[in-house]
């Protein structure tokens, strides 16, 4: 009997984009970031890369006044977003 073993290469990280706008609710950004961070931790690899984006980039103020640093949508490194 022959047993064939195949080793799958690690898939590259998926880029997950979260959009922030003036007056957004913090939980709408921090919740998904925490979920993807937990997934990476459990998988013991960086399966997900999370980018927080806004039209202009820079600091964006939430409804509670706390600001989050974002990257401009147009300035994504490779212009590729897997899920938004």
Say yes or no to pLDDT of 44 above 80.
yes
Tens digit of each residue's pLDDT (9 = 90 or more) over 56-80: 999 999 999 999 999 998 866 666 7
- What is the model's pTM? 0.77
Q: Please state the domain count of the chain.
A: 1
Mean pLDDT of 21-50: 96
Mean pLDDT of 80-84: 69
- Domain-embedded: residue 3: no
- Domain-embedded: residue 47: yes
Residue 60, domain extent: 14-75
Who has greater pLDDT, 57 or 83? 57
- Domain-embedded: residue 43: yes
CATH for 51: 3.40.50.880
11 falls in which pLDDT band (50, 70, 90)? confident
Give which of 14, 27, 31, 79 is closest to 53, Cα–Cα.
Answer: 79
Q: What angle do CA 39, 40, 45 make, to 5 degrees?
A: 145
- Domain-embedded: residue 84: no
């Amino acid at each position: 009997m022959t047993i064939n073993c195949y080793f799958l290469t690690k898939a590259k990280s998926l880029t997950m984009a979260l959009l922030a706008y003036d007056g957004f609710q913090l939980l709408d950004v921090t919740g998904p970031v925490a979920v993807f961070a937990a997934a990476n931790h459990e998988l013991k690899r960086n399966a997900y890369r999370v980018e927080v984006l806004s039209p202009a980039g820079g600091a964006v103020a939430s409804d509670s006044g706390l600001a989050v640093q974002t990257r401009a949508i147009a300035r994504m490194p490779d212009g590729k977003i897997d899920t938004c």
